């Protein structure tokens, strides 16, 4: 298959982790005889530095002309603590999502067996957790009208949803549940918010078309608690934009590191693949950023084009790296000489030589592996 992939590394650790995902995709390209063409473009703080806008038109055009987008991370501390900054890196990501109509953000959360002891949560609680969060991505309070009074003393953000916006992601969530454990949990705040009550009504209507799927409801405050008390109860979580943002960071604690969580942002026409983590500027250029979220985002990209064997091979390689503790310091403070690049090398090497991997890599901690 030939794919044109727009690469938007962005800020902070974005470029480093994205490089590893590209390394892995190149190994897949060779092994499975595909052609992947990578086209780099700027976004975020780095785009502001060069073009005075976080999303230059050329970047947006590049995305529209590609089959898929691989996104790194966005954000820079010089904007975070300045509430009066008019131009902000995050606007680039939000505009990108909106302009490309990427209304569904899919965030898988899994407790890897080999990492159960890395989570601060009790192993018996998180064991076998396997959740897919469907976060609405182009509506709600993120995109509603924003106002600030003339005297600067009052501000508001509108949370608005239409039936159409709810329906289209609800269908995706129910279809996903049919391939999983047939359960959708709608997370909302219907005891307080009118918009949440619309979600309940519309999602209940949609559910009638999916008789094999159970639908249940949880208020977001309770959902936040249930996620760490008993995460195994969840299969597909469907929720609006901001609740999804918050509970997906919370859910990442189950996996042991936010550096593991990948995502796919899809719409009717375009698709973008991005780690859920931010730009982690303190870690930039130190070789300590975990590239796995980006590498697993690349696997989701392959899934999107139904290259399931290829995507599965990446996931097998990732699991192997976790089992062998070939991981960055967020997951491994014993062998902290394992850099971002070495994790990518291992996964690349596994893909290229799955047969002799075990032989080489069992010695990796002794520095005897061919790749260290």
Catalytic: which of 11, 76, 235, 245? 245
Minimum distance, C-beta of residue 268 to ligand IPM, in the bound complex (Å)? 20
Pick what 7 binds: ligand IPM, Mg ion, none; C-beta below 5 to 8 Å, kind-dependent.
Answer: none
Catalytic entry in 103, 134, 142, 270: 142
The CA-CA-CA angle for residues 177, 183, 188, to 5°, reads 105
Give the other-Cβ count within 10 Å of 4's Cβ: 14
Crossing angle (nearest 10°) for helices 340-352 and 308-323: 130
Regarding 74 and contact with ligand IPM (CB under 6 A), the answer is yes
Torsion of CA 129, 174, 206, 161, to 10 degrees: 70
- Selected from 245, 274, 310, 345, the binder of Mg ion by CB under 5 A is 245
Reduced to 3 states (helix: H, G, I; strand: E, B; else coil), residue 288 is: coil
Contacts of residue 16, Cβ cutoff 8 Å, sequence gap at least 6: 284, 285, 287, 289, 291, 340, 341
Alpha helices of 71-159 — where are they, by DSSP H? 77-80, 89-99, 123-126
Residue 171 DSSP label: H
Question: Is 151 part of the annotated catalytic residue set?
Answer: no
Those residues with Cβ within 8 angstroms of residue 164's Cβ, 6 or more apart along the chain or in another chain: none
Catalytic: which of 49, 205, 216, 221? 221
Bridge partner residues of 217 (DSSP): 186
Residue environment code for 49-58, b if the CB has 16+ CB neighbours within 10 A, otherwise e: eeeebbbbee
How many residues of this chain interact with Mg ion, rule: CB under 5 A? 1
Nearer to ligand IPM among residue 93 and residue 215 (C-beta): 93
Among 42, 118, 189, 342, the active-site one is 189
Residue 93: name its binding partner from ligand IPM, Mg ion, none (Cβ under 5 to 8 Å by kind).
Answer: ligand IPM
Residue with Cβ nearer ligand IPM (16 or 348)? 16
Is 249 in the active site?
A: yes
Closest to ligand IPM by CB, 133 or 295: 133
Residue 341 binding result from ligand IPM, Mg ion, none, given CB thresholds of 5 to 8 Å by partner type: none
Of 16 and 90, the one with the shorter C-beta distance to Mg ion is 90
Q: 168: how many CB neighbours lie within 10 A of its CB?
A: 16
Pairing of strands 271-273, 264-266: antiparallel
Strand order in the sheet with 271-273: 35-40, 2-10, 68-73, 271-273, 264-266, 104-110, 130-136, 236-239, 183-188, 214-219
| Interacting positions 245-304 with ligand IPM (CB under 6 A) | 245, 276, 278
At its nearest, how many Å lie between Mg ion and the CB of residue 144? 18
Residues 218-247 that bind ligand IPM (CB under 6 A): 245
Tell the smallest beta-carbon distance from residue 135 to ligand IPM (Å): 8
CB of 104 to ligand IPM, least distance (A): 13
264 binds, among Mg ion, ligand IPM, none (CB under 5 to 8 A by kind): none
What's the chain's Rg over C-alpha atoms?
21
Q: Which two tokens stand for residue 233?
A: 């109860």
Position with the least CB separation from ligand IPM: 90
- Minimum CB–partner distance for residue 11 and ligand IPM (Å): 10
- Known catalytic membership, residue 67: no
CB of 245 to Mg ion, least distance (A): 4
Least separation in angstroms between CB 145 and ligand IPM: 18
- Interacting residue with ligand IPM among 20, 76, 90, 165 (CB under 6 A): 90
Q: Is 330 tagged catalytic?
A: no
Q: Which residues bind ligand IPM (CB under 6 A)?
A: 74-75, 90, 93, 245, 276, 278
Q: Which residues bind Mg ion (CB under 5 A)?
A: 245
Give catalytic residue positions. 142, 189, 221, 245, 249
């Amino acid at each position: 298959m030939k794919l044109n992939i727009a690469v938007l590394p962005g800020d902070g650790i974005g470029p480093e982790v994205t490089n590893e995902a590209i390394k892995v995709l190149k190994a897949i390209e060779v092994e499975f005889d595909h052609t992947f063409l990578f086209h780099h473009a700027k976004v975020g703080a780095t785009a502001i530095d060069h073009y005075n806008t976080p999303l230059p038109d050329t970047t947006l055009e590049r995305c529209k002309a590609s089959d898929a987008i691989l996104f790194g991370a966005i954000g820079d501390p010089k904007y975070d603590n300045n509430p009066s900054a008019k131009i902000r890196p995050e606007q680039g990501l939000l505009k990108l999502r909106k302009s490309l109509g990427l209304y569904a953000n899919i965030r898988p959360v899994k407790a890897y067996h080999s990492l159960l002891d890395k989570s601060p949560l009790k192993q018996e609680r998180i064991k076998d957790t396997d959740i897919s969060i469907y976060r609405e991505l182009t509506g709600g309070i993120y995109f509603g009208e924003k106002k600030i009074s003339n005297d600067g003393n009052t501000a508001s953000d509108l949370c608005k949803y239409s039936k159409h916006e709810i329906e289209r992601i609800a269908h995706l969530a129910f279809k996903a549940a049919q391939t999983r454990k047939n359960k959708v949990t709608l997370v909302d705040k219907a005891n307080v918010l009118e918009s949440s009550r619309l979600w309940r009504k519309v999602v209940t209507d949609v559910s009638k078309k999916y008789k094999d799927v159970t639908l249940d409801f949880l208020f977001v405050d309770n959902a936040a608690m249930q996620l760490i008390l008993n995460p195994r109860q969840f299969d597909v979580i469907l929720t609006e934009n901001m609740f999804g943002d918050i509970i997906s960071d919370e859910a990442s604690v189950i996996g042991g590191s936010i550096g593991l969580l990948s995502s796919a942002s899809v719409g009717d026409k375009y698709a973008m693949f991005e780690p859920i983590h931010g730009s982690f500027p303190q870690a930039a250029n130190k070789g300590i950023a975990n590239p796995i979220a980006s590498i697993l985002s690349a696997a989701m990209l392959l899934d999107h084009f139904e290259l399931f064997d290829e995507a599965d091979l990446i996931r097998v390689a990732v699991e192997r790296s976790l089992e062998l503790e070939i991981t960055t310091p967020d997951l491994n403070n014993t062998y902290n000489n394992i850099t971002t690049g070495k994790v990518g090398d291992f996964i690349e090497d596994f893909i290229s030589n799955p047969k002799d991997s075990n032989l080489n890599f069992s010695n990796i901690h002794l520095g005897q592996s061919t790749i260290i």
